[in-house]
Structure 1
Amino acid sequence: MAASEGDGNGWVVSDAGDRRWGRFGAAGLLLRAADPTDPDTPLVLLQHRAVWTASGDTWALPGGARDSYEDAPVAALRETEEEAEIRPSDVVVRAEVVTHRMPGTVWHRPGLDMRHAAEMMRRMRPDQRHDEEPDGHPGEATGDAGGSGGGRLRTIPPLVQESADAVEWTYTTVIADAPRALETVPNNESLELRWVPETLVTELPLMPAFAQAWANGLRTEPVELVVDVANVLGSRPDGWWKDRAGSTTRLLDELGTGMPRTLVLPEGFGWVARAHAVIEGAARAAEHEGPFVLHRAAGSGDDAIVDLATELDGGSRRVVVVTADRGLRDRVPEGVLVVGPRALLG
């Protein structure tokens, strides 16, 4: 897909001379999908960046500059569609987190040090070279770019400060899930697009900024989810009390379509590898053929949840209970994490 020409193209330059692409900041998409061979380890879509890009020949996330009218998710989804031909409608956004900040001022007409440009062109694959004028007319004399039969580099204009007003450049990582490892089609900004198991991400030569963000909490941990269905159901005033069993079935089917999935935790992220739903009272008549393991409590639902969480605690996955019930929160084992319904409902 061709890249759009918005108003975000340009650089923010710090007082120290560091440059970041995107007049209004930048955003990238951290897209996960289930690995059929390993339920505890999701796949992550990574981009092997073309040599001519910033930090070229490294691996990072699809993404790019934000335009003035875009929020981070819109920008990240647009960039991913341009760079991988993944449609925004095929993914579900879970969260966004600012992973980098830098103060500076805005500059336009991006330029490169000519020695760097020559080295960049020397390393570029033949099918990615652009060292000759397309119409056969040479640009300003810049010297041979490194052995392409005498071709001359196109003129690269210098950076010009657009405003002396201070701005803060940010990079926002948008966390999202795909229903499966979607097919991708790279554009000229990529050498390759690859779905990589999370455990193998650090084995690739990562873009330094992405390597730092990844190490600072973007990776998930495997989660075993226990849902207090009565509490989650009661958090939405949609008439559930008129038909508890039917409303419970609809809720579980709705939540099940997004499994497995990324879950936002108080500190970091979890990958829901397995999910349990505890139902009680009239809701025990509910049916569900999706990913949730149903537990029909013979008596108190809270008692059943405590028993289940205690049984699962200490295993290979982090046990997370979904409830807003403070009394229940105080009863689960110390090693069990509790999050509210909003973490699951979005």
Structure 2
Amino acid sequence: MIATGSGDGWVHCAQGHKHWGVFGAAGLLVRFRADGDPPGVDRILLQHRAAWSHHGGTWGIPGGARDRGESAPATALREAGEESTLDVGAVEIMDSYVDDHGGWTYTTVVVRAVEAPPVRVRGTESIELRWVRTDHLGGLELHPGFATTWPRVRRIGTL
């Protein structure tokens, strides 16, 4: 059974997909614009997911299950802080995008960082975290959910 307030657990949405997060889930899309990058190109922080995880071996954004009553931004910031050494207090929330599967949602919370320091892994859910230029995403095997959402969120928070 689920611990009081914990959103950990598998559910099926109205579309028949299996999802992690009883109350939905959220992830943090961290954007950084480096001097000298081509116009329209940002760097985003990506997580290389551990082999044992759902869609293991793919690249996506840090995130996870929402707890009961927890907002999507709070979830995304908490999960990124649990999974990485990113200073989540040093980012500015720009906007969010909700992917509604009918009875289950995943919210991508888009934030802007003023710098892109090395970010290390915390815990066992990631192989590595890496800043990737948005024009280089095609060279990575993306998490299916992130791959589907990226065209919808790619312009949120751009300068």
TM-score where L is the length of structure 2 = 0.89
Name the SS for the 2:147 alignment partner: helix
Question: Does residue 107 of structure 2 align to residue 172 of structure 1?
Answer: yes
1:174-226 per-position Cα deviation (integer Å, ceiling 9, x unaligned): 010001113312131111100000111122100111101112x2113xxxxxx
Name the SS for the 2:108 alignment partner: strand
Structure 2: distance between partners of 1:28 and 1:204: 19
Q: Which amino acid aligns with 2:145?
A: A
In the other structure, the counterpart of 2:149 is 213
Structure 2: distance between partners of 1:38 and 1:15: 41
In the other structure, the counterpart of 1:199 is 135
2:13·2:104 contact (CA, 8 Å) conserved in 1? no
In structure 2, do the counterparts of structure 1 residues 21 and 182 end up closer, same or farther at CA, with 3 Å as the change threshold?
A: same
Q: Which amino acid aligns with 1:171?
A: Y
In structure 2, do the counterparts of structure 1 residues 210 and 16 end up closer, same or farther at CA, with 3 Å as the change threshold?
A: closer
In the other structure, the counterpart of 1:102 is 101
In the other structure, the counterpart of 1:36 is 35
1:126-169 per-position Cα deviation (integer Å, ceiling 9, x unaligned): xxxxxxxxxxxxxxxxxxxxxxxxxxxxxxxxxxxxxxxxxx11
Runs of 4+ in 1 over 3 A off after TM superposition: 14-17
In structure 2, do the counterparts of structure 1 residues 6 and 181 end up closer, same or farther at CA, with 3 Å as the change threshold?
A: farther
The percent identity for this pair of structures is 44
Name the SS for the 1:38 alignment partner: coil
Q: How does 1:52-201 map to 2 (within 5 A)?
A: 52-99=52-99, 101-103=100-102, 168-187=103-122, 188-201=124-137
Structure with the higher fraction of residues in helix conformation: 1
Displacement of 1:86: 1.6
In structure 2, do the counterparts of structure 1 residues 14 and 219 end up closer, same or farther at CA, with 3 Å as the change threshold?
A: closer
2:110·2:157 contact (CA, 8 Å) conserved in 1? no
Q: Which amino acid aligns with 2:19?
A: R
In structure 2, do the counterparts of structure 1 residues 181 and 20 end up closer, same or farther at CA, with 3 Å as the change threshold?
A: same
Displacement of 1:49: 0.4
Name the SS for the 1:35 alignment partner: coil
Structure 2: distance between partners of 1:23 and 1:102: 13
In structure 2, do the counterparts of structure 1 residues 17 and 45 end up closer, same or farther at CA, with 3 Å as the change threshold?
A: same
Q: Larger relative CO (CA 8 A, sep 6+): 1 or 2?
A: 2
Name the SS for the 2:141 alignment partner: coil
Structure 1: which 5+ runs fail to align?
104-167, 221-268, 273-346
Structure 1: distance between partners of 2:42 and 2:15: 39
1:28·1:76 contact (CA, 8 Å) conserved in 2? yes
1:9-65 per-position Cα deviation (integer Å, ceiling 9, x unaligned): 011124675310001000001100122331522100000100111011000010000
Displacement of 1:75: 0.3
Name the SS for the 2:132 alignment partner: strand
Structure 2: distance between partners of 1:64 and 1:194: 18
Q: How does 1:3-22 map to 2 (within 5 A)?
A: 7-14=6-13, 18-22=17-21
Equivalences, count: 154
Structure 1: distance between partners of 2:81 and 2:27: 11
Structure 2: which 5+ runs fail to align?
none
Name the SS for the 1:271 alignment partner: coil
1:24·1:65 contact (CA, 8 Å) conserved in 2? yes
1:35·1:197 contact (CA, 8 Å) conserved in 2? no
1:47·1:62 contact (CA, 8 Å) conserved in 2? yes
Structure 2: distance between partners of 1:79 and 1:27: 8
Displacement of 1:85: 1.9
Name the SS for the 2:146 alignment partner: helix
Q: Which amino acid aligns with 2:129?
A: L
Structure 2: distance between partners of 1:177 and 1:80: 14
